[in-house]
């Protein structure tokens, strides 16, 4: 259940802080000044955060905006909110309210952004989720964390995210379910096209990796069968997390910092006036805001269309199969990422393994109405791919399966930043099945950009429209047909 944040600070609240403090100071009653500030500082902190948004987005359009008490002074005045909370129900029923930032989408990207915006003091942040947190593709993610890429931005993001996962309880709070047993990529060669990563770049950026020949692969994975020409790339710090626990703990952390999370609130329209965001309308009420961040994943195209933006995103269905774990493959085995047969295996609890193909199969789907099961031909393809590598997989049983969706862009890179001609409309979407590992740090970088600060990692590669120098991700070629 979300924790309601404090109402936004009104002009009169700030005046009260200043006037009362000044009066007490003149009376030489410094201890009361201190007590007054302690009581009021949470509001003052929030006011400072709102001012940062105000200077960036509201001030240029000052003459067009008025509040319920007269000319806007940069503080967004909230109407009364009527709450209706209960287990499994929307955390808030909005009659009419305001926010400095509205985030649409309660997956790992949306909750990460909410967490970091709140920590940075960005004012009143509302996160809208039409179902419940992690109810979309995030909840079905393989959630693997490994900095193997051909572009530096991904490597930096995942390196820093690995550090967050290693200290999750201290940095975020809660438990992300991080299992750090290593990540093993098996390949025919160490070329970027075969490996899906630029090994020289990975090493130059400080990632610890070990190159293994076929004999060393056999010693590390005695349950596997390796051709003499095959090589392995082991990332000892690699691993995977629990995608639902990760998302929920980010949401809980965001709530502790004052974010209002509203589940069961479907966005129906975004109102624009004078080329500026004015209001988000939802199934539970309306929210006045100058800034919207579209973190809606496979629904991102629909949200963007509400402000006249067409995103080049297609939603493709991708299957995952579950198998009973054979005794030969231990629960603490590294993630087995087979680039030769384009399939990975990783533990899912003590008793199961999950298997999925690399890349994606062209299989367009409606995110509100698609087959979430696994077809027989898809199960057989995954089963046969694992059996080619692991003898134990020839002696185990099928334990179920499911399908998720990837929000695919033409080049496989996400769309992150302000998009289109409408002031105050930002996106973080189109991660093409590749966003979970980056999310904890990408949220911080995006929050910094929204607040007009330099981001810890340069994410300009993800701007839309693309720079002409941006190339496709090499693993887009790993399409299983």
Q: pLDDT, tens digit, for every residue of 285-332?
A: 999 999 999 999 999 999 999 999 999 999 999 999 999 999 999 999
**pLDDT-based confidence at residue 477 (cuts at 50, 70, 90):** low
- The answer to the question of residue 245 being in a domain is yes
Domain of 420, in residue numbers: 1-6+93-179+240-313+412-481
Please give the pLDDT value at position 93: 57
Q: What is the CATH number of the domain that holds 480?
A: 3.50.50.60
CA distance 240 to 368: 28
Predicted pLDDT at 421: 94
d(Cα 110, Cα 443) in Å, to the nearest integer? 8
Q: What pLDDT is stored for residue 17 in this prediction?
A: 38
The band of 355, judged by pLDDT with boundaries at 50, 70 and 90, is: very high
Of 380, 408, 436, which residue constitutes the final position of a domain? 408
Q: What is the CATH number of the domain that holds 375?
A: 3.30.9.10
**Each residue's pLDDT tens digit, 96-129:** 699 999 999 999 999 999 999 999 999 999 999 9
* pTM for this model (two decimals): 0.83
Say what the pLDDT of residue 95 is. Answer: 54
**Separation of CA 8 from chain center:** 26
Task: List pLDDT tens digits, range 63-95.
Answer: 333 333 333 222 222 222 233 333 334 445 555
Flag whether pLDDT at 21 surpasses 80: no
- Verify that 295 and 320 share a domain, yes or no: no
Judgement on whether residues 166 and 276 belong to the same structural domain of the protein: yes
The mean predicted confidence, pLDDT, of the chain is: 84
Average pLDDT score over residue span 136-151: 97
* Helix ranges, 226-342 (H): 243-256, 300-305
Q: Are 393 and 383 in contact (CB under 8 A)?
A: yes
Q: How far is CA 453 from CA 84, 308, 405, 446, 450, in A?
A: 37, 28, 33, 10, 7
Q: How confident is the model at residue 1 (pLDDT cuts 50, 70, 90)?
A: very low
Distance between CA atoms of residues 384 and 39, nearest Å: 65
Q: Which two tokens stand for residue 370?
A: 């698609």
What is the pLDDT, as a whole number, of residue 361? 80
- Domains of the chain: total: 2
| pLDDT of 53 over the 70 cut | no
Angle between helices 152-166 and 439-450 (to 10 degrees): 110
Is 88 a member of any domain?
no
């Amino acid at each position: 259940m979300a924790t309601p944040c404090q109402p936004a600070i009104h002009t009169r609240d700030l005046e009260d802080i200043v006037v009362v403090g000044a009066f007490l100071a003149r009376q030489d009653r410094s201890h009361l000044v201190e007590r007054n500030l302690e009581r009021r500082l949470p509001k003052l902190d929030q006011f400072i955060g709102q001012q940062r948004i105000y200077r960036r987005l509201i001030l240029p359009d000052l003459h067009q905006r008025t509040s319920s008490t007269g000319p806007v002074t940069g503080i967004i005045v909230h109407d009364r909110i009527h709450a209706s909370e209960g287990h499994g129900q929307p955390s808030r029923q909005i009659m009419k309210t305001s926010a400095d930032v509205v985030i649409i989408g309660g997956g790992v990207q949306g909750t990460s952004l909410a967490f970091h915006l709140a920590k940075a003091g960005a004012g009143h942040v509302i996160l809208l989720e039409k179902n419940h947190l992690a109810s979309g593709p995030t909840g079905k993610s393989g959630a693997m964390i490994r900095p193997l890429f051909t572009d530096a931005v991904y490597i930096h993001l995942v390196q820093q995210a690995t550090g967050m996962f290693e200290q999750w309880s201290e940095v975020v709070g809660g438990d992300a379910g991080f299992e750090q047993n290593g990540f093993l990529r098996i390949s025919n060669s160490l070329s970027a096209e075969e490996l899906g990563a630029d090994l020289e770049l990975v090493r130059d950026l400080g990632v610890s990796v070990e190159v293994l020949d076929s004999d060393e692969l056999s010693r590390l994975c005695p349950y596997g069968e390796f051709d003499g020409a095959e090589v392995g790339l082991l990332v000892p710090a690699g691993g995977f997390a629990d995608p639902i626990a990760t998302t929920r703990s980010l949401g809980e952390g965001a709530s502790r910092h004052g974010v209002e999370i509203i589940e069961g609130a479907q966005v129906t329209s975004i109102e624009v006036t004078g080329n500026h965001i004015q209001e988000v309308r939802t199934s539970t009420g309306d929210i006045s805001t100058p800034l919207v961040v579209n973190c809606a994943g496979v629904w991102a195209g629909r949200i963007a269309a509400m402000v006249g933006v067409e995103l080049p995103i297609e939603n493709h269905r991708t299957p995952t199969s579950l198998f009973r774990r054979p005794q030969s493959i231990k629960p603490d085995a590294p993630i087995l990422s087979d680039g030769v047969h384009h399939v990975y295996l990783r533990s899912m609890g003590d008793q199961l393994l999950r298997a999925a193909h690399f890349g994606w199969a062209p299989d367009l789907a409606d995110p509100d109405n698609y087959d979430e099961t696994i077809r027989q031909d898809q199960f057989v393809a995954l089963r046969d791919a694992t059996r080619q590598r692991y003898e134990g997989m020839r002696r185990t049983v099928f334990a179920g399966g499911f399908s998720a969706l990837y929000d695919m862009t033409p080049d496989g890179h996400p769309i992150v930043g302000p998009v289109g001609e409408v002031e105050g409309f930002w996106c973080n979407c189109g991660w093409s099945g590749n966003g979970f590992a980056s999310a904890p740090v990408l949220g911080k970088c995006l929050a910094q950009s929204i607040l007009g600060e330099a981001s810890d990692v340069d994410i300009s590669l993800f701007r839309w429209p693309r720079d002409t120098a941006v190339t496709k991700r090499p693993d887009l070629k790993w399409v299983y047909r």
